[in-house]
């Protein structure tokens, strides 16, 4: 199975990068399933139902989010009606929406997506490790789930690596989102789980993690309010991970970064197919 997981889409520039690159990648990489982290898609803060629908029309199968999920208040009343939009798994019981979902590919294969959020340097949510373990109960990779994907949204590299090793061999992939900076540690772990600490953002890298530079720098230099942060609007880099899994076992055969457009060096595994 060929899977693409796209890093945090930031603002209009990020959405335009998805429009520009996803259709071609779907053909080049013969994609069976696409996950996009969309928590910054609405002008850098949250996501709207309209943006969700526009991503689905591009061929996105699931949208994950993160700590900005509720920034656009309209999503609170919308999320229960959209099973393809996931919020972090370890929010308290009773929070609208879900952090885990079952989905089908075109050939009927079942893909499970689990979306926990870190706690180090993040909101004090429920334990993501135990909640992820609970979400995995009843799923056996290669048996009743042909692929299991985990988007672990958070700041600390150590926390993400720990979950990757905990789940090694039981899920197809553990990838991180949130920092907006791509890491160079993509690998298949010993048990057969594809891993990457952070996918990076799909946004303008002539910025401070996707935001216009002046206001962001001013906040660090003065510790005074600098007005609302605004997303940078230059040509964005599309950042993602391409994962190929074995359809029988569900384990990963390979993981490769994808970086197209904008300022970062180009990496396109589709050109080697």
Q: What residues contact residue 88 under an 8 Å CB cut-off, 6+ apart?
A: 65, 66, 67, 69, 99, 115, 116, 117, 125, 153
Question: What gap in Å lies between CA 271 and CA 71, rounded to an integer?
Answer: 38
Contact 170, 193 (CB under 8 A): yes
| pLDDT exceeds 80 at position 166 | yes
| pLDDT exceeds 70 at position 170 | yes
Quote the pLDDT of residue 272.
66
- For residue 271, give the 3-state DSSP assignment: helix
Domains of the chain: which residue ranges?
2-268
Nearest alpha-carbon partner for 257 in 247, 265, 267: 267
In the block, which residue shows the tokens 């958070």? 154
Task: Find residue 110's DSSP bridge partners.
Answer: 104
Mean pLDDT of the chain: 96
Question: What gap in Å lies between CA 23 and CA 34, rounded to an integer?
Answer: 11
The 3-class secondary structure across 151-170, one letter per residue, is EEECCCHHHHHHHHHHHECC
Rounded mean pLDDT, 135-149: 96
Contact 136, 113 (CB under 8 A): no
In the block, which residue shows the tokens 């990496």? 267
**Whether residue 68 lies in the annotated active site:** yes
Active-site residue, from 68, 115, 178, 186? 68
Tokens of 126: 């429920």
Rounded mean pLDDT, 97-113: 97
Distances (CA, A) of 267 to 34, 256, 271: 18, 9, 9
Per-residue confidence band for 226, with pLDDT thresholds at 50, 70 and 90: confident
Give the predicted TM-score (pTM) of the model.
Answer: 0.96
| Residue ranges with strand state E in the chain | 2-6, 33-37, 62-64, 100-104, 110-114, 147-153, 173-177, 187-188, 194-196, 238-245, 252-260
Q: How many CB atoms lie within 10 A of CB 264?
A: 16
Quote the percentage of the chain above a pLDDT of 90.
95
| pLDDT exceeds 90 at position 207 | yes
What does CATH list as the number for 2-268? 3.60.21.10
Question: What gap in Å lies between CA 136 and CA 114, rounded to an integer?
Answer: 8
Question: What gap in Å lies between CA 174 and CA 111, rounded to an integer?
Answer: 14
């Amino acid at each position: 199975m060929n899977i693409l997981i796209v890093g945090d889409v930031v603002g209009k520039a990020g959405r335009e990068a998805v429009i520009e690159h996803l259709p071609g990648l779907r053909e080049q990489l013969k994609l069976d399933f696409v996950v996009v982290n969309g928590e910054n898609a609405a002008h850098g803060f949250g996501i709207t139902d309209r943006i969700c629908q526009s991503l689905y029309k591009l061929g996105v199968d699931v949208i994950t989010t993160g700590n900005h999920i509720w920034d656009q208040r309209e999503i609170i009343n919308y999320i229960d009606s959209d099973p393809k939009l996931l919020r972090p798994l370890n929010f308290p019981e009773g929070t609208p929406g879900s952090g885990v979902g079952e989905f089908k590919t075109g050939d009927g294969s079942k893909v499970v997506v689990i979306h926990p959020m870190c706690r180090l340097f993040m909101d004090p949510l429920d334990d993501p490790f135990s909640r992820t373990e609970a979400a995995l109960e009843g799923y056996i990779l290669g048996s009743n789930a042909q692929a299991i994907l985990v988007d672990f949204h958070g700041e600390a590299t150590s926390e993400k690596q720990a979950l990757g090793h905990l789940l090694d061999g039981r899920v197809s992939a553990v990838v991180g989102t949130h920092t907006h900076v791509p890491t160079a540690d993509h690998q298949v772990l010993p048990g057969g789980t594809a891993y990457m600490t952070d996918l990076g953002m799909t946004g303008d890298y002539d910025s401070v993690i996707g935001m216009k530079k002046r206001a962001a720098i001013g906040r660090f230099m003065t510790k005074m309010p600098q007005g609302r942060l605004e997303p940078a609007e230059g040509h964005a880099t599309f950042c993602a991970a391409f994962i190929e899994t074995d359809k029988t076992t569900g384990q990963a055969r390979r993981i490769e970064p994808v970086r197209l457009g904008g300022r970062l060096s180009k990496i396109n595994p589709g050109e080697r197919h």
